[in-house]
Structure 1
Amino acid sequence: MKKTICLNADIGELPGANGRALDRAMLDIVSRCSIASGGHAGDQASMVATVKAADARGVLIGAHPSYPDREGFGRKPMIMSREDLAASLSQQVRALAAITRERGTSLSHLKPHGALYNTAAHDEGVARTIVDVTIQSRIALLIGPPNSCLEVAAAEEGVDFLGEGFADRAYEVSGALTPRSMTGAVLETDAERIRQAVQIAAAGQVSTRTGETIDLPARTICLHGDTPGALASALAIRDALNAVGIQIAAVDP
């Protein structure tokens, strides 16, 4: 039986016509997408255009909410009460959900962005807030880091969870992503990104920044749309996975 992996992309994050063109190109490759919904990036026009493009290609659509931090692109942790964080995330999800309803489709998953994603990996309160918003938004699936507080919180509340790996980000031996402030946090070459994607998909493992090999039970791999060279890398990764007999599809948890 062929191995299957889901490829996903975070999109709707870059401005203007060039941003929408890159989104469409990425949507021709992936099986799921997570659309920026106003917290760190995205506006009404970008959400409408991206939902339309994803739906036309049969790509499953998810919400990609973040800390309310447009200036810092959602990459700075914020201290917020659970109530304020829940209100912000719910507002972002509702904005995108309204657009999907107008299109006659729906949100298939929620994936937190940036610092919110990283914080939810180890902070039980933030993880539970994200799970609560997912449930209240009637979204059936969460995407996030494997072996994390977010995965535990989802399991405790009966929310399906899809563990995620990154093709273009370095990992620490703890399983955490290398902070972007550190040298080598982003893998810069196609060869590095291909090697990591195939390792995650084929073996459920990843090589860390410091050379160790750790388990990474991921069922989906993220291809960042805003990373330099993203489109060329995404095409090369797709071809490399196909070459080793790994099928690309929107897998179930």
Structure 2
Amino acid sequence: MASPIGRDGVGTVWRAHDSLLRRNVAIKEIQPRFGEDGADMHDARRRALREARSAGRLNHPAVISVHDLLEEDGRLWIVMELLEALTLKETVRHLGRLPVHWAAWIGFQLLGGLRHAHGAGVLHRDINPRNILLTGDRVVLADFGIAALHGDPDASATVPTVHVPTFVAPERLRGGPPTPAGDLWSFGASLYFAVEGRPPRPLSRTPAPRDPMGGGHQEQVARAGVLWPVLEGLLRRDPAARISMGQAGRMLSAILHTEGVALAPPRLPAARLPPDAFA
């Protein structure tokens, strides 16, 4: 028996049971786009294969695990691990915005998964608060539906309509190709959303130094606190000027050390959550 539990950018997610392996799983039905000639099953199949192959290359606690890809009666299904989780978007909607040490912990865990994906040559291309899952002891990056291999000549530079524009790197909105730096900008924008309770402001003009959003610097510092240098470094308009993944990780680690939050080894789930996390 299957029951719907949500949607992501490319389909409906169902809760189901794998009777062969006797485990509960999540199954995402890839729903084709409709055009003048009806459903585009070729495009749906291509996207399903891309997501399954991209996520299937990865094995990290901060990345959703993909078990299988099925096709039956013209319908496509991706079988994944089942997570009892809230998205970052839902969590912020409930709480308003997160304390700095919670946001830093989420960012540090997520960065481990992103580092693993980039190390395997996989660009996510759609990091936003809807695709970040919080389970209580894990932070998990999901929905690799428009992921691409870094350097793949077939990877489109066009920003798909499933994107959330406020979390897309400015160079991507200008038609530039997907790059690791673009993923880092989207990661920074999601971290900004976690601590500020809203997306970054549109990049409509050249920002003042140390203020990539073009708003008041003092206001940003008052809310983000010690997390502000990380956000400032990730959200620079020029991708070449952004801080690296390693720099961001060291900065987040230093914040968590100062806050007294324990961290696990890079490839293991965190030993414990920040005090009263997600209570």
Q: TM-score with structure 2 length normalisation?
A: 0.26
Give the greater-gyration-radius structure (CA): 2
Q: 1 or 2 for the larger relative contact order (CA 8 Å, sep ≥6)?
A: 1
